[in-house]
């Protein structure tokens, strides 16, 4: 059963970490759900999730084409309301990862999406998903070490 409220938050988070604009992210989230309405008769949760994330992803790409976002290094910390030191360093490290790796980490750990579902969304094997996740974590660790090095 699709929990609307829960998935609103998750899709919103997904879009936010692509566009870094909360109003835009929310608009795209709503648009994703409206499109979902048109085709909602999915029998399985997996299919529904795949649809939601794919549509949201495509809509975000369309936004990119409309205007180039600020390069990620310049994202003002002001848009994040909770800025403990620890969170900031992981977040900075995450922001330095590639968009794909960041997306993967968000899907798996922040949105708690099943590996099977991620595989369906990205159209790759479960094995590839796990491998890429490991790589992403490794890169994150490297970036974190770089953070420490500056301090």
Partner 1 sequence: MNRFERGIKESFSVPNPIKKEEFIKKFPKPEMSLSKFVISQIPYVSKVTWALTILMFISVFLAPRILGVKVTWFISGLTPLMALLAVSESSRSQKYNMAQLEASTRFSLRSLLLARMLLLGIVSFVLIIVSVPLGTFYGSFRVFETSLYVITPFLLSASIGLYIVRSIKGNNGFYMVSAISLFISLIMFMGDKYFGFLFLSVGVKYWLMLFMLLLVLTIVESKKLLNNTEDMTWSL
Partner 2 sequence: MELVIDRLSKQYGSKIAVDRISAKLGKGVYGLLGANGAGKTTLMRMICGILKPTSGSVSFDGIDSEEEDFRAILGYLPQDFGYYPDFNAYDFLFYLSSLKAIPKKEAKAKINELLEVVGLREVAKKKIKTYSGGMKQRLGIAQALLNDPKLLILDEPTAGLDPKERVRFRNLIEKLGKDCIVLLSTHIVSDIEHISDEVLIMKDGSFIFQGKWNDKESSLEDFYLSQFEEGEDSE
81 interacts with, out of partner 1, partner 2, none, CB within 5 to 8 A per kind: partner 1
CA distances from 151 to 76, 91, 95, 146 (A): 20, 15, 18, 9
56 interacts with, out of partner 1, partner 2, none, CB within 5 to 8 A per kind: none
Q: Which two tokens stand for residue 45?
A: 């949760």
The region of 14-22, 30-38, 39-47, 95-103 touching partner 2 under the rule CB under 8 A is 39-47
The region of 35-43, 49-57, 59-67, 121-129 touching partner 1 under the rule CB under 8 A is 35-43
The region of 17-25, 28-36, 43-51, 87-95 touching partner 2 under the rule CB under 8 A is 43-51
Q: Which two tokens stand for residue 34?
A: 């409206």
Distance CA 106, CA 18 (A): 11
Unique residue bearing structure tokens 């590639």: 98
How buried is 94 (Cβ within 10 angstroms: 0-12 exposed, 13-18 middle, 19+ buried)? buried
Cβ(78)–Cβ(39) under 8 Å? Answer: no
Q: Is 105 in the site for partner 1 (CB under 8 A)?
A: yes
Report the interface residues with partner 2, using CB under 8 A. 1, 3, 43-45
Report the interface residues with partner 1, using CB under 8 A. 2, 4-5, 8-9, 12-13, 16-17, 22, 25-26, 29-30, 33, 36-37, 40-41, 79-82, 86-87, 90-91, 94, 105-106, 109-110, 112, 137, 140-141
């Amino acid at each position: 059963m699709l929990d609307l409220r829960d998935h609103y938050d998750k899709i919103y988070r997904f879009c936010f970490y692509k566009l870094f604009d909360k109003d835009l992210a929310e608009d795209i989230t709503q648009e994703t759900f409206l499109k979902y309405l048109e085709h909602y008769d999915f029998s399985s949760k997996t299919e529904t999730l795949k649809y939601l994330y794919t549509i949201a992803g495509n809509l975000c790409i369309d936004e990119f084409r409309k205007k180039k976002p600020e390069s990620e290094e310049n994202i003002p910390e002001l848009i994040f309301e909770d800025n403990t030191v620890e969170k900031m360093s992981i977040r900075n490290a995450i922001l330095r990862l590639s968009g794909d790796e960041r997306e993967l980490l968000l899907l798996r750990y922040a949105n708690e999406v099943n590996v099977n579902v991620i595989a369906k969304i990205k159209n790759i094997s479960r094995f590839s998903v796990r491998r890429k996740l490991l790589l992403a974590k490794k890169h994150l660790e490297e970036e974190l070490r770089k953070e420490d090095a500056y301090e």
